[in-house]
Amino acid sequence: MKKATVKRFFGFVVVLLPAMFIVWHALGSVVAAPAVALSGAILQWWLPELISEVTLNGTHMVIAAAVGELNGALLPSAEAGNQLAFQLDTRTLSYSIPFYAALHFATPMHSSLERFARGLLILWLLIIIGLIFTSLKDLMLGLGALFFSSSVPPADAIALGYQFSVLMVPPVAPVLIWAFEARDVGLFPQLIETPVKKDTPQPASPES
């Protein structure tokens, strides 16, 4: 196994990134399906009075509400004669997967596939959390007071959770997971060993 160097690593990442994005795009709904299935099940169990069905349409998660709209009023869908639906783009969260794949496969390491699978599992869990927060945000904005009649978190918590899940988690989580999985590769040994502080007097190394 070749020794990892920073230059070689970034070179591989730049080469692998387009390939991973092409694979991710081609896989389409396959990438989103497990996360949508689980987040949909959680949402339906949590808010059965608000959500009647969660489905996957391509790469979009579709939440069919249990209510519809009639003359500006929200009513049970049977009374309203229609059903409100909310559509989420799962790719705004799942682009973390090709990013993680590029970082991972650009780094030579033992048990590479096993570590990749572990990282992928964590990313899917984070995508599920992101889908739940995005769904809550859409339902909150779409249903207003009716939404808060259910047992849901405060509006500020939903807003913050949504922003963090969309803006921070997809680009940052792949880097953190990769850094953890590649901790023994030697790209950044300083993160494992205690570094020497410059302002602390140090004895000269006999090897130097």
Report in angstroms how near the CB of residue 83 gets to other proteins at its nearest. 27
- For other proteins, the closer of residues 56 and 159 by Cβ is 159
Which of 130, 143, 162 has its CA nearest to residue 65? 143
Query: At 187, phi and psi to the nearest 5?
Result: -75, -35
Q: How far is residue 92's CA from residue 27's CA, in Å, rounded to a whole number?
A: 15
Report in angstroms how near the CB of residue 36 gets to other proteins at its nearest. 18
Q: What is the dihedral of CA 31, 37, 39, 42, to 10 degrees?
A: -160
Report in angstroms how near the CB of residue 72 gets to other proteins at its nearest. 29
Query: At 127, phi and psi to the nearest 5?
Result: -65, -40
Report in angstroms how near the CB of residue 105 gets to other proteins at its nearest. 15
The site for other proteins (CB under 8 A) is made up of 6, 10, 13, 17, 21, 89, 91-92, 95, 98-99, 159-160, 163-164, 166-168, 170-172, 175-176, 180, 183, 187-192, 194-199, 202, 204-205, 208
Evaluate the CA torsion angle 161, 162, 165, 171 in order and state its sign. negative
- For other proteins, the closer of residues 71 and 197 by Cβ is 197
- For other proteins, the closer of residues 10 and 79 by Cβ is 10
Query: At 43, phi and psi to the nearest 5?
Result: -65, -40
Report in angstroms how near the CB of residue 175 gets to other proteins at its nearest. 6
- For other proteins, the closer of residues 72 and 195 by Cβ is 195
Q: Which 3 state secondary structure label does DSSP give 119?
A: helix
- For other proteins, the closer of residues 46 and 164 by Cβ is 164
- For other proteins, the closer of residues 72 and 201 by Cβ is 201
32 Cβ contact list (under 8 Å, min separation 6): 56, 59, 61, 90, 91, 94
Report in angstroms how near the CB of residue 159 gets to other proteins at its nearest. 8
Identity of residue 183: R
